[in-house]
Structure 1
Amino acid sequence: MRKVALWVLMIFALQGCRESETEREREQAVSPSKASVAVIDGAAVVTLEEIARQKGGIATGALQAVNHQRMIRAFGVVLPIQEWVDLRNTYAAAKAQSESAQATVLATQQEYLRLKGLHADDRNISARAVQLAEATFRSDEARAQATREVSLAIERNARQQWGEAVVQAVLTGSPMFTRVTSLEEALVQVSLPAGEESLASLPDTAHIQTSGGASIEASLITRLPRTDPRFQGITLLYRVSRKSFDFVAGVNIPVFLPAGDPISGVNIPAMAVVWWQGKSWVYVETSSGQFIRRELRADLPSFDGWFVNQGFSAEEAIVLKGAQLLLSQELLGQIQMEEGD
């Protein structure tokens, strides 16, 4: 045990020596002889000699122009397909019954007209037979009308729930209906927050965040003529391929919808940002070896940092690595200037 303890102490001592050496090298890299701070036009400018820049690990990169699309976070739920299956089966049964009743009406109508003609032709058939044929025809006609009303009621109720586009797809057994019921595609109901009115038009594509953190696209089917009582906003229906979709019916999922026109700007990587006095800052290399700290409005997060459309321009060189060292040097230089005064 004593030997193990000695080895641990030796390892920590070696690590401490290496860390101390690294710190000494960095301090030497930004020593007063190789770095300076001056105030120009009200802004502190940090100037580094090349050797200090290299030893301090200062790395820069040019900003690239990008387009940013504002996204609305909506609330998605995976719908069960059974309602579509039941709707089509119920409608098909009602439609078949209606068609059968209509065929019976045609037959009894023809029989009634035949007997009526015979009765009119020198009384070749009794009046009672004609009356019975007419009664049968009228009864079958009423029954056919009732079956038609049943199928029409099914259609009306479906339209109130799903809208015309979905009703036509389901009742006609369209290719989309087949893909959904054969589990090739899933249905996702997307509800916008109440009061969200920034959608100039319905987005053809929605972005669904999967359980693994990836984003997959869903295609718009229609706007539903109903709303989710939990959110009270616009409700849309999307379909998504199940190849990359790992959610089951009833699961709530985050959905992002594009809103408004894309805006132009630049993307600031997260690694370039330093935080001081509750604000975020980025160092810009204004000329070779000269750096100025510029405030970043971190309002629009992107996938790896922040998008900005003011304060920074494309092709500007920003510090990607070593910004914290520049901040330390700037603050130290300001203290020295105040002491010199």
Structure 2
Amino acid sequence: MSIISLTTSLGFAAIEPPQATLPNEQSTIENNKNLIRLSLAKQALAGLKTRPLVGSRYQTELQASANVIDIQPLLNLREQYFAAQIEAQSASTAITLSQKAITRTQELYRNGVNSHRQLQEQQMTHNALQARLAINQYRLQSINNILTVNWGDRLSEWAKANNNVEFQNFINGQQALLLVSLPAGNTLPKGSIHITVDPNSERQNPQTADFVASAPQGSESSQGETYFFKAPRAKLRTGMRLSAWIAKQNKTLTGFNIPTAALVWHAGLATIYVKTAPEYFQRFSLINYYPIDSGYFVAEPLPINTEVVVSGVQILLSHEFRTLIPAEDNDGDD
């Protein structure tokens, strides 16, 4: 039996109840046409289930985008930095030894043991080592500048350290580096140490990501500010695009939490039914609602001390608007 035929066979009556029994709250639809009366017996037959509306608070969020960054370019720069560092250290050690050799050669020259030519050759070797050191110091500074320009101070310092635990977590695959891009005109709320991300834009099971630093890199997907965050690698893969949610620190809303099953769509609007009296249900179109782990937070002035329908919502909606469906669409089932 279809939903349409079920609502017809139940004999629902979309009527306006006597004024004395109307709930005090008024709906957004004129003349209370979104009120449905249904006896307790028929509610049971339709399988309607409700849940008390419980007041709640919600911290508003800024939605952003994120990408799992390929850190191979950073690893390449790190390798170049260490190679230049080793070369510079080697040159510095060689210069120290060369200076000692020059001192000995000078002493031998003064005593007539070595020739002036030997002293000159020793000095030339020393000068070549100093030039080698200068070149490697320049390379070190150049690589350091590239690191800072492309990756910022903090990631650069992590990369240049031999045994930085945070950076090792990127190398061994425990952590993924994220580039979070805010919508244009927004800035990261103060104190945003943790945010939530998800590759499927699902708010129910997000991952937590931790702040690393402001990012000097821009994003192709947004003209807003960018930041580096880190998150457990788990199912994240390099190149993935993620949705990110960032709590706004100074904006808390009051309202109600409703389960996912309570919400249906009608005329492009999120819709719920509230049981305002034992036999009366009222439809509300939602404007201010936000996905949360358990369903949705609704920042609407819903009737207090009432219940939201969590099962059979589509039946109520179909019945209320059954007059808009041509009679030939009914399947004729009893």
Do they fold alike, i.e. is TM over 0.5?
yes
Equivalent residue in structure 1 for 2:246, among 246, 255, 258? 258
Give the length in aligned residue pairs.
308
Find the aligned partners of 2:153 and 2:298 in 1 and give their Cα distance: 42
Moved more, 107-116 or 41-50: 41-50
Q: Which residue of 2 aligns with 1:311?
A: 301
Q: Which amino acid aligns with 2:242?
A: P
Q: Deviations over 1:72-112 (max 9, x none)?
A: 33332222232233122211111111011111111122233
Instruction: State whether residues 84 and 136 of structure 2, in contact with CA within 8 Å, keep that contact through their aligned partners in structure 1.
Output: yes
Q: Which residue of 2 aligns with 1:302?
A: 291
Question: Are residues 275 and 232 of structure 1, via their aligned partners in 2, closer, same or farther at CA, if it must alter by over 3 Å?
Answer: closer
Question: Are residues 314 and 178 of structure 1, via their aligned partners in 2, closer, same or farther at CA, if it must alter by over 3 Å?
Answer: farther
Find the aligned partners of 1:20 and 1:189 in 2 and give their Cα distance: 52
Find the aligned partners of 2:8 and 2:213 in 1 and give their Cα distance: 62
Rg (Cα) greater in structure: 1
Q: Which residue of 1 aligns with 2:151?
A: 162
Find the aligned partners of 2:229 and 2:297 in 1 and give their Cα distance: 28
Instruction: State whether residues 13 and 37 of structure 2, in contact with CA within 8 Å, keep that contact through their aligned partners in structure 1.
Output: no
Find the aligned partners of 1:172 and 1:143 in 2 and give their Cα distance: 24
Instruction: State whether residues 296 and 311 of structure 1, in contact with CA within 8 Å, keep that contact through their aligned partners in structure 2.
Output: no
Structure 1 segments unaligned to the other structure (5+ residues): 1-14, 333-341
SS of residue in 2 equivalent to 1:260: strand
What are the equivalent positions in structure 2 for 1:71-220 lying under 5 Å apart? 71-116=61-106, 130-173=119-162, 174-197=164-187, 199-210=189-200, 214-220=205-211
Q: Per chain length, whose mean CA-contact separation is higher, i.e. which structure has more relative contact order (CA < 8 Å, sep 6+)?
A: 2
Find the aligned partners of 1:84 and 1:123 in 2 and give their Cα distance: 56
What's the RMSD between the two structures over aligned residues?
A: 4.1
Q: Which amino acid aligns with 1:259?
A: A
Question: Are residues 47 and 81 of structure 1, via their aligned partners in 2, closer, same or farther at CA, if it must alter by over 3 Å?
Answer: closer
SS of residue in 1 equivalent to 2:19: strand
Identity of aligned residues (%): 22
Find the aligned partners of 2:274 and 2:265 in 1 and give their Cα distance: 15
Q: Which residue of 1 aligns with 2:233?
A: 242
Q: Select the structure that is richer in helix.
A: 1
Structure 2 segments unaligned to the other structure (5+ residues): 27-31, 324-334
Q: Deviations over 1:161-199 (max 9, x none)?
A: 111211122121322332222233332222222222363
